[in-house]
Amino acid sequence: MRPLVGITAWRRELDTFLGREALQTLSANYTEALISTGMTPLVFPNGQDAADAERLVSLVDGLLISGGDDVDPMSYGSDVTDARGHDPAVDEFEIALVRAARSQGKPLLAICRGLQLLNVALGGTLQQEITSEGGVHELINENTDPDDINAWRHVVRFEPGSLLAGLYGSEEAKVNTLHHQGVDVLASGLVVEGRTDDGLVEAARCEGDWWALGVQWHPERMDDDHHALFHAFREAIETD
C-alpha cells in the first residue's frame, strides 16, 4: 500500500465571491509531488487543538510540514521585529505535530516554514529577516513581481558526507529563493546539511534514530532532480 502522509494546510483569509473568508489552502505542487513519488497525502487543516496532534499523527505513516506564514517570534521567546503574518495558535498546533512525530518515530519532511518550525519545536530560534537588495536572498515585498520571485535561484552547499550530498550526487544544488526568514540558533539535536554562501543554514536533519529532514527551499516547485527528497522520505517511511 502507498504510505499515507499527513500534510499541514495554510489557514489564511482570502477574497472569494462570498467576500473575505478564512480558507485552508495548500498548493497542489505538494500533493502532486507526494503522489508522483508513491505516497498518498492526507491534509491536516490548521487551527485545530494541539491536543489532537498525537491522535492525528498516529493515523499516518509520515508527516510533511508545509510552507506558510512566519513563525510567531513569541514561539521562540523573541519580540516581533520583521515577522509579517503569524498566528500563535497555528504554531502551537504544528509544534505539537512535530513533537508527536518525534515521540511516535514517524518520519518527517519539513519545507520552508517547515524547517523553521522544526527548529523552533526542538528549541532553536530564527532570524526574522534574511533578505537584502543584491544579497544571496533577494529582498521580497508586496511590490515584487511574482515572475521574478519564481525565477530567483541561489546555491546551497552541502556538508561533506551529508544525506543531501548523497541524494543530489553533488556538493551543491541551485534552489529557489522564496523565503525571507531563516534559522538563527540551530536547535540541539539538529545537524547542518547545507548552507548558503553567506553561512545561513538552509537544510538540517535530526540526529539519532528519528528520520526528520528540513530544507528551506521548495523542492515541490522544482524539477525532478529535487524530487529525490520525496523519494528519500518515502523510503524512510517504508523502512521505519
The Cα 74–Cα 138 span in angstroms is 26
Q: What is the pLDDT of residue 102?
A: 98
Is the residue at 99 inside a domain? yes
Is the residue at 138 inside a domain? no
Is the residue at 106 inside a domain? yes
Is the residue at 143 inside a domain? no
Q: Are 71 and 120 in contact (CB under 8 A)?
A: yes
Q: Of 137, 154, 179, 218, which is the active-site residue?
A: 218
Is the residue at 170 inside a domain? no
| pLDDT one digit per residue (tens) for the chain, 240 residues | 899 999 999 888 888 888 898 888 899 999 999 999 999 999 999 888 999 999 999 999 999 999 988 899 888 888 776 556 678 889 999 999 999 999 999 999 999 999 999 999 999 999 887 765 555 566 666 667 788 878 888 899 999 999 999 999 999 999 998 888 899 999 999 999 999 988 899 999 999 999 999 999 999 998 877 899 999 999 999 997
Q: Which pTM does this prediction carry?
A: 0.92
Q: Is 112 one of the catalytic residues?
A: yes
The end-to-end CA distance of the chain, in Å, is 15
Instruction: Return the CATH number at 81.
Output: 3.40.50.880
Is the residue at 90 inside a domain? yes
Strand-strand pairing, 19-25 and 10-16: antiparallel
Q: What is the pLDDT of residue 166?
A: 96
**Which residues constitute the domain of residue 87?**
4-127+181-239
Q: Of 94, 193, 202, 220, which is the active-site residue?
A: 220
Is the residue at 142 inside a domain? no
- How many independent structural domains does the chain possess? 1
Q: Is 180 one of the catalytic residues?
A: no
Q: Is 54 one of the catalytic residues?
A: no
Q: Of 112, 180, 193, 226, which is the active-site residue?
A: 112
- Phi first, then psi, for residue 220 (nearest 5°) are -70, -15
Residue 82's SS3 state is coil
Q: Are 172 and 217 in contact (CB under 8 A)?
A: no
